[in-house]
Structure 1
Amino acid sequence: MTYNAETGSGPDRKKRTRAGFLYGFGAYGLWGLLPLYFVLLLPATAYEIVSMRVLFSVLFCLILLALTRSLGTLVQLFRDGKAVIALVIAGVLIATNWLLYVVATTTGHTLEASLGYFINPIVAVLLGVIVLREKLRPLQWAAIAVGFLAVLIMSVVYGSVPWLSLALAFSFGFYGLVKSTIGGRYPALVTLTGETAAIAPLALAAVFFLNSDGQITLFSEGAGHFWLLASSGIITAVPLLLFGSAAARLPLSTVGMIQYVAPIGQFILAITVLNESMPLERWIGFGIVWCAVLLMILDAVRAPRARRLQRERDAA
């Protein structure tokens, strides 16, 4: 049997779907393992790690663009004034997100980072309502309400608002919102190169300041440490490329469900490898957030079917 574009069936379709799942789980699985990588980079500070991540990402991406003969697309991107402004903002937002994440994972707060990425899809939906005036389905409203309840309860139980988790969720949510203004006009590798190149001067300034203060460890901790830091460009770009390949082969709703692999991985690492404390009150807080996540997943499963049934009714 051959592939039929109209029915979406056939072995080619199945192969693309299987490959999409492999790419998706590969991307989010690697993102879920990042806490181990950042712990290995100590005694480098979070500022050094993020600065090196930006600089080595630019270098690695430029090499990839040269090998794939795509540098012309990057030049085209930098001639697009609106896209450049968006990428500068996106670069600042993702650097802020990276900094918060590295601080969390290197100071014994990986669980809070995990919580932030569980909350992130709910934040993305909320931003869609506030900024883009999107209309939500009932299950999405329920997920937002339960998520708000979780934050409220955790604030009372912990005695303070989970600022780190919320900052991670909102910085990545706004990053996605800004990147959506560029749409699919440019490949993921090109936009990653553009946004990291846009903030490379800030990263260089940070390296200069840290070096003058004696806080740069790139050359002082041995060859192993040097290569671990230098590999940050690869570790940044590879999951993104895998994600891009998954998104090209799978429905957006499916990719949305796979994204929970990353915070699940972070959560498991935090309690099994990094030995972070998980008292009863924290289990309760996470449990409520997981209820909100379940509502989001149910909505993602039901929405495509509801749209299909509506199209059939309209065509009848």
Structure 2
Amino acid sequence: MINSAPDGEGRLPSGLPAAIGAYVIWGFLPLYLLLVRKVPPFEFVGWRILWTLPFCLLIVAIRGQFPELRAALSNTRTLVALVASAALIAANWFVYVWAIMAGEVYAASLGYYLNPLLNVLLGTVLLKERLTHWQWLAVAIAACGVAVLTAGALTSLWISLSLAFSFGLYGVVRKQVAVGSLPGLTIESIILLLPAAGIVWWYAGGNAGPSFGTDVLLSAAIAFSGVVTAVPLLLFAVAARRMDYSTLGFVQYLAPTIVFLLGLTVFRQELDAVQLGSFVLIWIAVAIFIADLWNRTRRARVVAQPG
């Protein structure tokens, strides 16, 4: 079931549109990163955090959510969880930006193919969700795909696993935090503000000088990172709170598929035999996972029909 909590009419609105919007934006993110490729990845992540905070605060003001923001800031348990989620998403941002700028587009794509399969394991271990036999088979085949990479592409495997684990754990933490998506992201940005400012200051004092403020188009592209960062994360947070965590992973295949196609077409990267073999195994696992999810959803609808 996609809806999982009641509203005024007994059910929350579906999180599916928000999930699709988030993953389509993330899928085309490499095209945006081409605009800022002159900026060192670590510096860009710093700017990304700095520009995300004012954008979030603006939306908080428009939506009148400052009381919710203050309540979350005064809750120690919530703050501790958001410190963890902030660290996870910052690590995820850096690895992804570095991978795309370094030309490791396929490794980034593979990481997000693995993430939904990792999500079902995390859902089992941490959220007490149960896996079907077909889901276990899909996870096992995906594990074989990872094993193939260890044989011939070990240097890029860390990228895929880092992306899968950091974002998977981020979703688990955010699902458990009793704070809205926008206040939560705003607090995460506040937590990361000082480290981000330190990174930007350090790069500004280097030989290359500041990346922001010297070129109008580059500066505009850097500033736009706040929108590019906040909008899909807000959509994801909304979807994560309204959908079964395993089901949410189904929609996530949009993003790595788009990234994979961009690697073939826009970035024109060569796909070697080891990478292709790994992708084939992952795609088989994905097909099994989707087929099982589709069958279970269809059976649930039949049972839910009256009469």
1:37 aligns with 32
Distance in 2 (CA, whole Å) between partners of 1:34 and 1:235 is: 8
- The answer to whether the 8 A contact 1:122-1:144 is kept is yes
CA apart distance, 1:98: 0.2
**Which range moved further: 237-246 or 166-175?**
237-246
Which amino acid is 1:25 matched to?
I
Equivalent in 154, 157, 165 of residue 162 of structure 1:
157
Q: Confirm whether residue 299 of structure 1 aligns to residue 285 of structure 2.
A: no
Residue from 237, 257, 264 that aligns with 2:230: 237
Q: CA deviation at 1:246?
A: 5.7
1:118-157 matched pairs, under 5 angstroms: 118-157=113-152
| Distance in 1 (alpha carbons) for counterparts of 2:84 and 2:76 | 13
**Does structure 2 retain, via aligned residues, the 8 Å contact 1:155–1:161?**
no
1:32, 1:127 → 2: CA distance? Answer: 23
For 1:181, the equivalent position in structure 2 comes to: 176
- Note if contact 1:56-1:233 (Cα within 8 Å) is conserved in structure 2: yes
- Give the % identical residues: 35
Which amino acid letter does the alignment assign opposite residue 145 of structure 1? Answer: A
Q: Matched residues in 2 for 1:306 and 1:48: separation? A: 49
Conserved in 1, the CA contact under 8 Å of 2:204 and 2:211? no
- Kindly report structure 1 stretches of 4+ aligned residues shifted beyond 6 Å: 17-20, 247-253, 308-312
Deviation at 1:94, TM superposition (A): 0.2
Change (3 A) 1:205 1:72: same
Cα deviation for residue 304 of structure 1 reads 3.5
Preserved CA contact (<8 Å) 1:93 1:171: yes
Out of 22, 45, 56, the position equivalent to 2:51 is: 56
For the Cα contact (< 8 Å) 2:55–2:226, is it kept in 1? yes
Between the aligned partners of 2:60 and 2:13, the Cα distance in structure 1 is 27
Structure 1 pair 86–245 and aligned structure 2 pair: CA distance change class (3 A): closer
Aligned residue type for 1:72: P
3-state SS of paired residue (2:212): coil
Q: Deviations over 1:227-285 (max 9, x none)?
A: 11011111112223444566688776664322211111101111100111112332221
Structure 2: gaps of 5 or more residues: 4-11
User: What letter matches 1:277 in structure 2?
Assistant: E
Letter in 2 for 1:265: I
Look up the match of 1:89. Answer: 84
The 1:117–1:23 alpha-carbon spacing in structure 2 relative to 1, beyond 3 Å, is same
SS at match of 2:141: helix
Helix, strand or coil for the counterpart of 2:34? helix
1:226 aligns with 2:231: no
Deviation at 1:117, TM superposition (A): 0.2
- The separation in 1 between residues aligned to 2:209 and 2:196, in whole angstroms, is 13
- The correspondence for 1:210, drawn from 203, 212, 215, is 203
**Residue identity in the other structure for 2:277:** I
Query: TM-score, normalized by length of structure 1?
Result: 0.84
Cα pair distance change 1:63/1:129, threshold 3 Å: same
Q: Residue 233 of structure 1 aligns to a residue in which SS?
A: helix
Q: Write the deviation string for residues 157-213 of structure 1: whole angstroms up to 9, x where unpaired.
A: 33557111011101111111221221xx32211111111111111111212222222
Is the radius of gyration larger for structure 1 or structure 2? 1
Unaligned runs of 5+ in 1: 1-7, 9-16
The 8 Å contact of residues 43 and 217 in structure 1, kept in 2 or not, is answered as no
Aligned to 1:14: none
Question: 1:162 is paired with a residue of what secondary structure?
Answer: helix
Pick the aligned partner of 1:25 from 1, 20, 36.
20
Alpha carbons of 1:240 and 1:108: their partners in 2 closer, same or farther (altered >3 Å)? same
Q: 1:145 to 1:246 in 2, by over 3 A?
A: closer
1:227 & 1:311 partners in 2: Cα distance?
A: 51
The aligned counterpart of 1:106 is 101
The alignment's C-alpha RMSD in Å is: 2.9
- Larger deviation: 267-276 or 24-33? 24-33
The code of the aligned residue for 1:136 comes to L
Q: Does 1:284 align with 2:258?
A: no
Counterpart CA distance in 1 for 2:172 and 2:45 is 22
- Count how many residue pairs are aligned between Structure 1 and Structure 2: 297
Task: Provide the residue aligned with 2:74 in structure 1.
Answer: 79
Give how far 1:27 is off. 2.3
Structure 2 residue aligned with 1:268: 261
Q: 2: distance between equivalents of 1:159 and 1:253?
A: 28
SS in 1 for 2:100: helix
Secondary structure of 1:191's aligned partner: helix
Distance 1:59 1:287 in 2: 42
